[in-house]
Structure 1
């Protein structure tokens, strides 16, 4: 449940960040219309997909394999949901590249969060084990 909530919150923040970047050109198109409600639901769907993809980390696979599969699932979901959310224009290669770059940056930030969180947990466990041994 914690994983689902974290993924939903990260997805919502990411989606609103993307909307903010898109709306720089035409602010009234996103912030002052029903589009923001649609974007909220797209973000929730994306959060659910990411939460499901996060279950890969529980498997006993190499971290590299898990990261590649997780990235593929995440980026594919961003493109599909982004298509319906109007995050890019299908016939515009630059628009697709920018979306890909944004998704990659967001993915990297999320991964860094989980990586540092895992490292912190490992340090805490090692510290507890060292204190037990003394």
Structure 2
């Protein structure tokens, strides 16, 4: 449940960051409340899918395989949701490349967050085990 909530919050922040970047590019455009609600829905959906994809880390697969599959799932879902969310123009190659670049950067940041959080949990558990052994 914690993973689901974290993924949704990260997705919401990332999506609104993308909206901000789009708004900076087109300052005369404004987002209607209906558009914001749709973007919120897409961000929550993206967060749920990423939380489900995070379950891959519980498998007994090599970490490199898990990372590649997780990345493929995440970026594919970002592309599909981004298409419906209007995050890029399908006929504009630069727009698609920028979407993948942004998704990859966000993926890397999120992965680093989870990685450091897991390292912290492991250090805490090791410390508790050492205290028991003394």
Q: Same fold (TM over 0.5)?
A: yes
Residue deviations 1:2-43, cap 9 Å, x none? Answer: 111111111101100011011102245343442111100110
**Structure 2 unaligned runs (5+)?**
none
Please report the TM-score for the alignment, with normalisation by the length of structure 1: 0.95
2:100 is matched with: 100
Question: May I ask how many residue pairs the two structures share in their alignment?
Answer: 134
How far apart are the structure 2 equivalents of 1:48 and 1:76? 14
2:62 is matched with: 62
Residue deviations 1:82-132, cap 9 Å, x none? Answer: 001010011111111111100000000000000000000111111111222
1:80 is matched with: 80
How far apart are the structure 2 equivalents of 1:13 and 1:65? 27
**Structure 1 unaligned runs (5+)?**
none
How far apart are the structure 1 equivalents of 2:73 and 2:21? 23
Contact kept, 8 Å, 1:19 with 1:30, in 2: the verdict is no
* Aligned-residue CA RMSD (Å): 1.2
How far apart are the structure 2 equivalents of 1:31 and 1:109? 27
How far did residue 81 of structure 1 move?
Answer: 0.3
